[in-house]
Amino acid sequence: MCGIVGYVGGQQAAPLLLEGLGRLEHRGYDSAGVAVLGPGKESRLRVAKKAGRVRDLVDQVPKRFAGKVGIGHTRWATHGPANDANAHPHVDTKGDVAVVHNGIIDNAAALRAGLAEAGVELLSDTDTEVLAHLIGLSEADTLEGKVAEALGRVEGTYGLAVLHAAYPDRIVVARNGSPLIIGIGDHEMFVASDLAALVRYTTRVAHLDDGELATLTADGFSTYRLDLTSVTRSAIDLEIDADAYDAGEHDSFMHKEMLEQPESAERMLRGRLDERFGTSHLGGLHMDARELRAIRRVKVLGCGSAYYVGQMGAGLIEELARIPADAEAASEFRYRNPIVEPDTLYVAVSQSGETIDTLLAVQEIRRKGGKVVGLVNVVGSAIARECDGGIYLHAGPEVAVASTKALTNMFLGFALLALQLGRVRDLSIADGRRLVSGLQRLPEQIGEVLAQEPALAELAGRLAGAESLFFVGRVRGYPVAREGAQKFKEISYRHAEAYQTSELKHGPLALIDDSVPTVAVVPEDELTERNVAALHEVAARRGPLVVVTHPAVELGDLPSQASVDRIDVPRNERELDPILMTVALQLLSYHAALALGHDIDKPRNLAKSVTVE
Ligand code: F6R
What is the percentage of the chain residues whose pLDDT exceeds 70? 99
Catalytic residues: 2, 608
pLDDT band for 113, please (50, 70, 90 cuts).
Answer: very high
Ligand 1 pocket, residue 381 CB under 6 Å: no
Cα–ligand 1 centroid distance for 486 (angstroms): 10
Annotate 230-247 with b (16+ C-beta within 10 A) or e (fewer): eeebeeeebebeeebbee
Cα angle, residue 88 at apex, residues 84 and 94 outer, rounded to 5°: 95
The pLDDT of 569-585, averaged and rounded, is 98
Ligand 1 pocket, residue 138 CB under 6 Å: no
pLDDT band for 445, please (50, 70, 90 cuts).
Answer: very high
Cα–ligand 1 centroid distance for 406 (angstroms): 9
- Using one digit for the tens of pLDDT, what is the confidence trace for 284-296? 999 999 999 999 9
pLDDT band for 239, please (50, 70, 90 cuts).
Answer: confident
User: Contact, 345 vs 297, CB < 8 A?
Assistant: yes
User: What pLDDT sits at residue 610?
Assistant: 79
| pLDDT of residue 608 exceeding 80 | no
Angstrom distance (rounded) from CA 85 to CA 602: 24
Cα–ligand 1 centroid distance for 278 (angstroms): 31
User: What pLDDT sits at residue 1?
Assistant: 67
The pLDDT of 151-169, averaged and rounded, is 94
Out of 57-66, 153-162, 478-487, the most confident range is: 478-487
| pLDDT of residue 101 exceeding 80 | yes
pLDDT band for 575, please (50, 70, 90 cuts).
Answer: very high
Q: Of all protein residues, whose CA lies closest to atom 7 belonging to ligand 1?
A: 402
Cα–ligand 1 centroid distance for 551 (angstroms): 31
Ligand 1 pocket, residue 355 CB under 6 Å: yes
User: What pLDDT sits at residue 311?
Assistant: 98
| pLDDT of residue 220 exceeding 80 | yes
Ligand 1 pocket, residue 408 CB under 6 Å: no
- Using one digit for the tens of pLDDT, what is the confidence trace for 174-189? 999 888 999 999 999 9
Q: Of all protein residues, whose CA lies closest to atom 9 belonging to ligand 1?
A: 304
Angstrom distance (rounded) from CA 129 to CA 131: 5
Residue to probe by mutation, ligand 1, list 305, 585, 604, most atoms within 8 Å of CB: 305
Ligand 1 pocket, residue 410 CB under 6 Å: no
The pLDDT of 436-457, averaged and rounded, is 98
Atom number in ligand 1 closest to CA 609: 15
Angstrom distance (rounded) from CA 99 to CA 108: 15
Angstrom distance (rounded) from CA 86 to CA 72: 14
User: What pLDDT sits at residue 41?
Assistant: 65
| pLDDT of residue 192 exceeding 90 | yes
Give the closest residue to 11 by CA, choosing from 67, 51, 84: 67
- Using one digit for the tens of pLDDT, what is the confidence trace for 318-364? 999 999 999 999 999 989 999 999 999 999 999 999 999 999 999 99
Helices (H) and strands (E) counted in the chain, each on its own, are 18, 27
236-237 vs 204-207, strand pairing mode: antiparallel
| Neighbour count for residue 458 (Cβ, 10 Å) | 12
Cα–ligand 1 centroid distance for 305 (angstroms): 5
Angstrom distance (rounded) from CA 440 to CA 359: 32
Atom number in ligand 1 closest to CA 358: 16
Q: What is the pTM of this model?
A: 0.83
| pLDDT of residue 539 exceeding 80 | yes
Segment holding 361, helix H or strand E: helix 356-367
**Which region holds residue 28: left if phi is over 0, alpha if psi is between -120 and 50, else beta?**
left
The dihedral of CA 155, 156, 161, 165: what is its sign?
negative
| pLDDT of residue 609 exceeding 80 | no
Cα–ligand 1 centroid distance for 162 (angstroms): 29
User: Contact, 503 vs 469, CB < 8 A?
Assistant: no
Q: Of all protein residues, whose CA lies closest to atom 16 belonging to ligand 1?
A: 350
User: What pLDDT sits at residue 106?
Assistant: 87
Please return the burial class of 495, using the count of CB atoms within 10 Å of its CB with bins 0-12, 13-18 and 19+: middle
Q: How far apart are the first and last CA of the chain?
A: 11
Alpha helix positions (H), 138-186: 143-152
Ligand 1 pocket, residue 304 CB under 6 Å: yes
Ligand 1 pocket, residue 609 CB under 6 Å: yes
Atom number in ligand 1 closest to CA 401: 8
pLDDT band for 42, please (50, 70, 90 cuts).
Answer: low
pLDDT band for 602, please (50, 70, 90 cuts).
Answer: confident
